[in-house]
Structure 1
Amino acid sequence: MSVILVFLLVIAGIAGWWLSQQRLMSKPWLEHGPDVAFAQEDVTGMPTAKIGLGVFLAVVGALFALFASAYFMRMELSDWQAPPVPRLLWLNTGILFLSSVALHCAVLASRNDEIRTTRLALITGGLTALAFLAGQLLAWRELAAAGYFVDSNPANGFFYLLTGMHGLHILGGLVALALTTYRTWTKPLDGRLKLGVELCAMYWHFLLFIWVAVLVLLAGWASDFIDICRQLLS
């Protein structure tokens, strides 16, 4: 339970900071300006698509929190033998970081109406994400070649489960990213398209955060962190 509590506290802190940046506590009825209704915004002025993505990311975070909780409970048993972390995962982490940076650059370029830079940044983010997935597959092959198969030990199964679920979310994000990139060639860079670019960037930043958490878990660093938190909470 302490593992879940610590994770929820971290998520709550991040969520609180994010919500504070979205003007959820604003009072639009006290603000001056023309009384114009926007179909794609709620009363706080935040686009409903962004709220929907926030809810979806909260669900994804809860899913990985449950995986992490199961990981910690299962590793207490005597048959647990964690596989070595392939060095390739560190390179993959750097590639995913570059992908997230590229999406952030796309947001900045779209806000400045720089359509060519936006396209280039979106394509760069997509290609680096594909490179990340290719690197993950190579890491799987490296482990399998060394004899670390899914069914040979529960720890191996968790390794493939966590990295595989994260990869599936990357694939889903690539579909949305591809559609957004296509629209930069077929539609003007209006507010709706800029919102799509921003949503892709939000999703990518979140997946980077999830991946770092997964890597820390697989590397064994999370156990030391949880032990420290238990001592502080006791």
Structure 2
Amino acid sequence: MGSIVLFLAVVGIIAGWWLARQRLTAKPWLEEGPLAEFPGAGAMAFPAQTVGLGIFLVVVGALFALVISAYSVRMLMLDWRPLPVPDLLWFNTGLLVASSVALQVAYASAKRLRPEDMKLGVLAAASFAVLFLVGQVLAWLQLQKAGYFLASNPANAFFYLLAALHGLHLSGGLVALGRVGRKIWLGNERRERVRMLVGLCAAYWHFLLFIWLVVMALLMGWADDFIELCGRLFT
């Protein structure tokens, strides 16, 4: 229970900070003068997508929090045997970090009106993300070849569940990024809208990177003391 509360608190803080940066708390109806003179008025043009993503991130964060909480409870039972972490997962983590950085670069390039750099960043982000998913499948195959099957142990089942959930959400993000990339290459969208769409994709990528780093901390045992502390605080 404690890990759920803390995890959701972190997700809520991140989502609140990000939404605040979109100036969703602004009150233009209280301002006087032309709308174009309001600072950040352009950021209010498409609030629905921004709000929608913020709500979606909270829901996804709650889903992962529930699974992680169940993980933290189950790992205390006697039949729990930790799963060895394949070295390939570290390489995959580097790929996901590179994908997130590339998308942030693409967003910065969109803000600076550098379309070629933006295209390169989006393409690099998508490529690194696809390689990450391929690497995850290879890691699964390595574990199964070593005899760590889904039904062999609860630790195995939780690893496959967490990795599958994360991979599904990243695959959905790739579909959305592909649609954004198509708009960029066709050049039939306004620059402000393209910048917003790339920014939303970057925020989603950073969120998935955060989730994966939490999963890696669980798999490596780095979060064991933290989980125990949460249990003491919330019981």
TM-score, length-normalised on structure 1? 0.90
Report the 3-state secondary structure (helix = DSSP H, G, I; strand = E; otherwise coil) of the residue aligned with 2:223.
Answer: helix
Q: 1:147-195 deviations in whole A, cap 9, x for unaligned?
A: 1000111110110010011011111111111111111121245222222
Q: Counterparts of 2:75 and 2:90 in 1: how far apart (Å)?
A: 23
Question: Residue 27 of structure 1 contacts residue 44 of structure 1 at CA under 8 Å; is this kept in 2?
Answer: no
Matched, 1:66 2:66: yes
Q: Report the CA distance between 1:9 and its aligned residue.
A: 2.6
Structure 2 match to 1:192: 193
RMSD: 2.3
Q: Which residue of 2 aligns with 1:52?
A: 52
8 Å CA contact 1:22, 1:46 repeated in 2: no
Asked whether 1:26 is paired with 2:26, we answer yes
Cα distance in structure 2, aligned partners of 1:23 and 1:175? 27
Segment drifting more, 75-84 vs 158-167: 75-84
From the superposition, tell whether residues 233 and 66 of structure 1 become closer, same or farther in structure 2 (CA, over 3 Å): closer
Cα separation, 1, equivalents of 2:19 and 2:197:
19
Q: 1:117: which partner in 2?
A: 117
In 2, Cα distance between the equivalents of 1:122 and 1:33? 38
Question: Which residues in structure 2 correspond to 1:36-185 (within 5 Å)?
Answer: 47-185=47-185
> 1:28 touches 1:44 (CA, 8 Å); kept in 2?
no
CA distance in 2, matches of 1:33, 1:132: 50
Mapped partners of 1:45, 1:32: distance in 2: 18
Aligned to 2:221: 220
Residues 1:20 and 1:184: Cα distance change in structure 2 (over 3 Å): closer
Distance, in Å, in 1 between the alignment partners of 2:171 and 2:78 is 35
**Structure 1 residue identity aligned to 2:211:** I
- Aligned mates of 2:21, 2:198 — CA distance in 1: 18
Provide the secondary structure at the position in 2 that maps to 1:83: coil
**Paired residue secondary structure (1:221):** coil
User: What is aligned with 1:202?
Assistant: 203
- The unaligned stretches of length 5 or more in structure 2 are none
Whether the 8 Å contact between 1:104 and 1:201 is mirrored in structure 2 is yes
For residue 99 of structure 2, what is the amino acid of its counterpart?
S
SS in structure 1 at match of 2:22: coil
Spell out, residue by residue over 1:193-220, the C-alpha distance to the aligned partner (whole angstroms, 9 max, x if none): 2221111111111111111111111222
Equivalent pairs: percent with the same residue? 52
Structure 1 residue ranges without an equivalent (≥5): none
The alpha carbon displacement at 1:223 in A equals 1.7
> Does the C-alpha gap of structure 1 residues 153 and 137 become closer, same or farther in structure 2, counting only changes over 3 Å?
same
Tell me the number of residue pairs that the alignment of Structure 1 and Structure 2 aligns. 230
Over 3 Å counting, the alpha-carbon distance change for 1:210 and 1:133 in structure 2 is same
Q: Which stretch of structure 1 is more off in the superposition, 108-117 or 183-192?
A: 183-192
* TM-aligned CA deviation for residue 44 of structure 1: 6.1
* Inter-partner Cα distance in structure 2 for 1:48 and 1:98: 29
SS at match of 2:148: coil
Supply the distance in 2 between the matched residues of 1:66 and 1:198 (Cα, whole angstroms). Answer: 28
User: Quick one: higher RCO (CA 8 Å, sep 6+), 1 or 2?
Assistant: 2
Cα distance in 2, alignment partners of residues 190 and 12 from structure 1: 30
Deviation of residue 233 (structure 1)? 6.3
Letter in 2 for 1:2: G
Distance in 1 (alpha carbons) for counterparts of 2:191 and 2:92: 34
Tell me by how many angstroms 1:95 deviates: 0.9
Distance 1:127 1:101 in 2: 12
